[in-house]
Amino acid sequence: MDTSSPAAFVNGGLLRMHVGRKVRTVIQVTRSDAGSVMGKSTDGCQLVVRGSPPAPLTSYVEVIGVAENENSIRAELWTNFGDSFDASNYDQLCQLANGELKHLFL
Amino acid sequence: MQTNEFHGNAVFSGGGFMPSQATQTVPDRPSSSYKSDARCSMPLTVKQLKDLSRVGESGISIDGVDVNNIVLVGMVSKIDNAVSDCTFRVDIYMFFGVAFRPVTDFNEIAKHFIEGIYVHLYNTNLRGGMTTQPEVANSNFGNPTKSYGYQTNLTNQFSGQYNTVEEQIRGVSSKVLQYLRRLACLYVFNASETGVPSDVVVRELNKSLQFLVSEGLVYTTIDDHYKFTDA
pLDDT digits (tens, 9 = 90+) for B2-24: 333 333 333 333 444 454 433 33
Those residues of chain A whose CB sits closer than 8 Å to some CB in chain B are 1-3, 5-6, 9, 60, 62, 77, 79, 81-82, 85-86, 88-90, 92-93, 96-97, 101, 103-106
Phi/psi for B67 (5° steps) reads -120, 130
pLDDT score at B180: 74
B113: chain A residues, CB-CB within 8 Å: 9, 93, 97, 105
Least confident range from A92-101, B98-107, B115-124, B195-204: namely B195-204
Q: Do B110 and A89 touch (CB under 8 A)?
A: yes
Phi/psi for A102 (5° steps) reads -60, -30
Task: Write down the pTM of the prediction.
Answer: 0.59
Which string of DSSP letters, residue by residue, matches A68-85?
EETTEEEEEEEEE--S--
Q: Which residues pair with B87 in a beta bridge?
A: B80, B96
Tell me which of A5, A58, A59, A89 to substitute to probe the interface with B (most B C-beta atoms closer than 10 Å).
A89
Asked if B74 contacts A27 with a C-beta cutoff of 8 angstroms, the reply is: no
**Whether complex ipTM tops 0.90:** yes
Total Cβ atoms within 10 A of residue A12: 21
Least confident range from B9-23, B40-54, B203-217: namely B9-23
Of the candidates B92, B111, B138, the beta carbon closest to that of A3 is on B92
Q: E strands, A3-106, where?
A: 8-9, 22-33, 36-41, 46-50, 60-69, 72-80
Query: What count of CB pairs under 8 Å joins A to B?
Result: 65
pLDDT score at B62: 84
Residue A85 has pLDDT above 80, yes or no: yes
Instruction: Please report which confidence band the pLDDT of residue B1 belongs to, taking 50, 70 and 90 as the band edges.
Output: very low
Q: Do A3 and B113 touch (CB under 8 A)?
A: no
Which string of DSSP letters, residue by residue, matches B132-181?
S----TT--TT-TT----PPS-GGG---S--SSHHHHHHTHHHHHHHHHH
CATH topology of domain A8-83: OB fold (Dihydrolipoamide Acetyltransferase, E2P) (2.40.50)
Percent of the residues in chain B that have a pLDDT greater than 90, as a whole number? 8
Asked if A16 contacts A70 with a C-beta cutoff of 8 angstroms, the reply is: yes
Residue A84 has pLDDT above 80, yes or no: yes
- Tell me the nearest-neighbour CA distance from A42 into chain B, angstroms: 12
pLDDT score at B132: 44
Task: Answer with the residue of higher pLDDT: B101 or B33.
Answer: B101
CA angle, corner B149, sides to A41 and B71, nearest 5? 60
Q: What is the pLDDT of residues B63-90, one digit of tens each?
A: 888 777 888 888 877 777 765 655 555 5
pLDDT score at A104: 94
**Short-list B64, B52, B92, B98, CA closest to B76:** B92
- DSSP H/E element including B78: strand B76-81
Least confident range from A6-10, B36-40, B63-67, B227-231: namely B36-40
